Structure 1
């Protein structure tokens, strides 16, 4: 995991506005959320693992599943998840592979991030800053 210094940190915004601006670009609410905290995720690549940008969010007013919730953004970071090679090799592409991978725990949930994705991630965070601030 590589934290990225960003002006996003501690900004308070409507989750609706964040989603309206970022979802069309491929950003999603991460799967491990609860009513008070979660993440906004962007999958940059699936080269030797999955490389993500992750922006933590915490509910300031309301709950994450409530209309009109206001959230505080945390420090964005870049991470790589590595999965065990060879599992479900018969499901080696597309939607079918994704349906199996979603249930597989990463072998290395905090694997080393390749340098090329650190630079790409920093540029993507700058773009998010421009869109949200």
Structure 2
């Protein structure tokens, strides 16, 4: 499901500080990139047995090359999905994701957004 109306979407930041902030908040890049795109995933364990949720934040290079480590990334709308064994993670709107998981994902995104904005304001000074 798309997590609309978050402050993080449309944020533009250099790849290296973006990755640092995302990893500091538990996201993993784990080689999920190509020359133009990056994808950060955060695993959210559920109290129910055998259910795992994933918060995904993707972005694309507005300039530069992700492979070189020197790119300016624009973030897209975050996604929240549920892992279905053995098929993988589904991010569709029809996924039934509990409100407490949605709220947790929004809190994480708010925290990341605050750190991104803090970095941007420090960089501007």
Shorter-chain-normalised TM-score: which range? 0.7 to 0.9
2:80 is the alignment partner of 1:78: yes
| Partner of residue 37, structure 2 | 37
* Contact 1:4–1:78 (CA under 8 A) maintained in structure 2: no
| Partner of residue 127, structure 1 | 111
* Contact 2:39–2:56 (CA under 8 A) maintained in structure 1: yes
| Partner of residue 94, structure 1 | none
Residue ranges of structure 1 left out of the alignment (5+ in a row): 85-104
Partner SS for 2:21: helix
Relative to the length of structure 2, the TM-score reads 0.76
Task: Flag the structure with larger Rg.
Answer: 1
Measured after TM superposition, the shift of residue 129 of structure 1 is: 0.8
Q: Figure out how many residues of one structure are paired with residues of the other and give that number.
A: 112
Selected match of 2:90 from 74, 90, 109? 109
* Contact 1:5–1:76 (CA under 8 A) maintained in structure 2: no
